[in-house]
Structure 1
Amino acid sequence: MTTIKLNRYYPHLTENITLEVSDEIAVVLSTGGRMCDSYKRRKREHNECSLDVDPGFEPDVMFPPLTPEEIILDEENRSVLYTALDQLSPIQARRVYAHYILGKKKSEIARAENVVESSICDSIRRGVKNLSEILKNFYR
């Protein structure tokens, strides 16, 4: 029988626990520990890192935080967009908003409004064209 410290194999344990295990189990645990240490060392040597660990840094890499200028520009652009949407007819504004901002499919909008899908497509196309003209005049 061999005495082992469980904290060495289970780092999340907060108290020191020693346990007597058979020699076979002790050999398997030490072999597994050496293999894990070897794997970690190889990863460090080759500058590898996992993006799916908690707490990971994947969001920081994929979506870096916005600068204050970017935040202000986003707010201004959103304000201009909503102002332009307000200048469309209510039906066009509702359909363009539902399709592009809420991400609904044209077929979903047609079912919800109980109309033919082609009328939704035409309305959205005209709405986007009108929105384009409004925004051109706004930025002149």
Structure 2
Amino acid sequence: MKKINLRELYPDVYTTDFFIDVTEEVMETIRAAERAEAAYERKMYRYKAQYSLDCENGIENAVLLKPQTPEIVLEEKQFQEQVYAAVMKLPEKQAKRIYARYYLGMTVNEIAEVEGVDPSRVRDSIRRGLKQLVKYFR
């Protein structure tokens, strides 16, 4: 068993020395982590890296994308409900086409094929419906 000082590992948590006994296995894991961190810092210094060397694990996204607060989630939900209600106030064909295009992710050609009409009619119908929606939210 080896003794380690937790203040050295966690200086923000332990303000005074706090020694504990750990197994060789745990000690080797701690040493491996320290070696990996030192190697990372050497790479950063050696290659004058201004970017992350470990771009595959999502650390950057976790830092950039802040967790949503309950207020933001509620506002987004209310906005989605308003948009859905506005879409349902459109004429039936336009509402179905906009719903298929933006909620179901269908292409204009797929919608036209299902309805058996020319794609330009579907495209124009969706465009007119979106113009009406813009007026609804102004």
Q: What TM-score results when the alignment is normalised by the length of structure 2?
A: 0.59
1:127 positional shift: 0.8
Structure 1: give runs of 5+ residues left out of the alignment. 1-13, 15-35
| Aligned equivalent of 2:107, options 95, 105, 108 | 105
- What per-residue deviation string (whole Å, max 9, x for no partner) do you get for residues 23-67 of structure 1? xxxxxxxxxxxxx888534235457441313xx424413432112
Q: Is the 8 A contact 1:52 1:58 kept in 2?
A: no
Match of 1:65 in 2: 67
C-alpha separation in 2, matches of 1:71 and 1:130: 26
CA distance in 1 between partners of 2:112 and 2:67 (Å): 38
Q: What do residues 95-125 of structure 1 show as CA deviations (whole Å, max 9, x unaligned)?
A: 1122223332211211122210011011101
The match for 2:83 is: 81
Correspondence for 1:29: none
Q: CA RMSD in A?
A: 2.6
Q: What does residue 42 of structure 2 align with?
A: 42
| Identity across the alignment (%) | 34
Distance in 1, Cα, partners of 2:41 & 2:135: 60
Stretches of structure 2 lacking an aligned partner (at least 5 in a row): 1-24, 26-35
Residues 103, 70 of structure 1: alpha-carbon distance in 2 compared, 3 angstrom cutoff: same
From the CA coordinates, give the structure whose radius of gyration is larger. Answer: 1
Question: Could you tell me how far apart the structure 1 residues matched to 2:124 and 2:40 are?
Answer: 58
1:120 alignment counterpart = 122
Which residue is 1:5 aligned to? none
Shift of 1:92: 0.4
For residues 126 and 70 of structure 2, the distance between their equivalents in structure 1, rounded to whole angstroms, comes to 34
Please list every run of at least 4 consecutive aligned residues from structure 1 whose deviation after the TM superposition is greater than 2 angstroms.
36-41, 43-49, 56-59, 61-64, 100-104, 133-136
Q: What count of residue pairs does the alignment treat as equivalent?
A: 100
Q: What is the SS of the residue equivalent to 2:137?
A: helix
Aligned residue identity for 1:51: C
Q: Which residue of 1 aligns with 2:14?
A: none
